[in-house]
Amino acid sequence: MSSTVPGAGNSVQSSLRSLADRARWLGPHWILLLGFAALALPTFFDLANIVWSTEDGAHGPIILASGLWLLARQSPELAKAAQSPPLWLAIGALGSALLVYLFGRLVGVIGIETGGLMLSVVALVFAFGGTPALRAAWFPLFYLAFLVPLPDTVVALLTQPMKLGISNAATQLLQAVGYPIANTGVTLQVGPYELLVAQACSGLNTVISLSAVGLLYIYLLHRTDWRYAMLLLLFVLPAAILANFVRVLLLILLTYHAGDGVAQGFLHNAAGIFTFAIALGTVFVIDHLLAPVRARWARR
């Protein structure tokens, strides 16, 4: 006796056809994929040693893995939409991206090198399937751009106002509840201890990582409603700043009550993870609270 599940055969056939379509689409371009891998591996190795090993770039491996997953997830759409562009346009796009990559590699600037590598990904998608493929893969390509490290001058320019604002707010709050604390710019004096609100505590790192993860969350859950997606995205920056404010308060209190050695040890790194969890949880809560707005817009 045997039994069959209705529709199971059609589902298997559909999956096999999808795999066949992808294989036919990628088949002629395997040499380009191997060439890209030869460029990408040294860059990812440098990113792992220079950027991802620091607190500022810890989100890099997560973005890389989820970005590649998104591209793989979109590959059926890419295969369907693919329209080969003129050869000269494909060569021009790939050549321009490679020039940026080689320049960054030669001068030793990891940001330019990574930017050139991401442009190479865009050029490869264009070479594979033309403008329709770019439209189908726009979000994974945009999402992978978060791998590009910001220049130090830009980081310093963006973090200074955040560091000053968080330092002043933390000082005023703790003074109001009776703690012996004062600040001069981003330098805090709490009891016998002197603390410096560093770049990692400014909020920029959390803003970048939370923006990336928040965009992924919004895209996967609310991609069909762009108005609501934009509304939810507006809350990413305040959530990141609030979370870093909580982090600075925790580190100040740890230093005052347990000493500098405790605050700057394992708990300092744990506070960074806790900060990101608070920020991400805040976005989830806001999404839940805005559910009536989402439902109202969906009805319209």
Question: Each residue of 181-213: pLDDT tens digit?
Answer: 888 887 888 888 887 776 555 556 667 777 787
- 73 catalytic? Reply is no
The b-or-e profile of 28-46 (16+ CB within 10 A means b, else e) is eeeebeeebeebbeebbeb
Mean pLDDT is lowest, of 26-40, 107-121, 166-180, for 26-40
- Please indicate, yes or no, whether the overall pTM of this predicted structure exceeds 0.85: no
- 300 catalytic? Reply is no
The b-or-e profile of 124-150 (16+ CB within 10 A means b, else e) is bbbbbbbebbbebbebbbebbbbbbbe
Structure confidence at residue 101 (pLDDT): 93
Structure confidence at residue 107 (pLDDT): 92
The more confident residue out of 159 and 86 is: 86
**Are 240 and 207 contacting, i.e. CB atoms less than 8 angstroms apart?**
yes
Q: Which of 22, 73, 201, 223 is catalytic?
A: 201
Furthest-apart CA atoms within the chain: distance in Å: 83
The owner of tokens 């770049």 is 199
Structure confidence at residue 24 (pLDDT): 52
Q: In sequence order, which ranges of 108-235 are alpha helices (DSSP H)?
A: 110-136, 138-144, 152-176, 204-222, 226-233
**Are 115 and 104 contacting, i.e. CB atoms less than 8 angstroms apart?**
yes
**Are 243 and 278 contacting, i.e. CB atoms less than 8 angstroms apart?**
yes
Mean pLDDT, rounded, for 24-42: 71
Q: Which of 22, 247, 299, 300 is catalytic?
A: 247
How many percent of the chain have pLDDT more than 70? 80
Structure confidence at residue 277 (pLDDT): 78
Structure confidence at residue 166 (pLDDT): 84
For residue 222, is pLDDT > 80? no
Collect all residues with Cβ–Cβ distance below 8 Å to 171 and sequence separation of at least 6: 181, 182, 183, 188
Structure tokens at 127: 């070479």
Structure confidence at residue 5 (pLDDT): 45
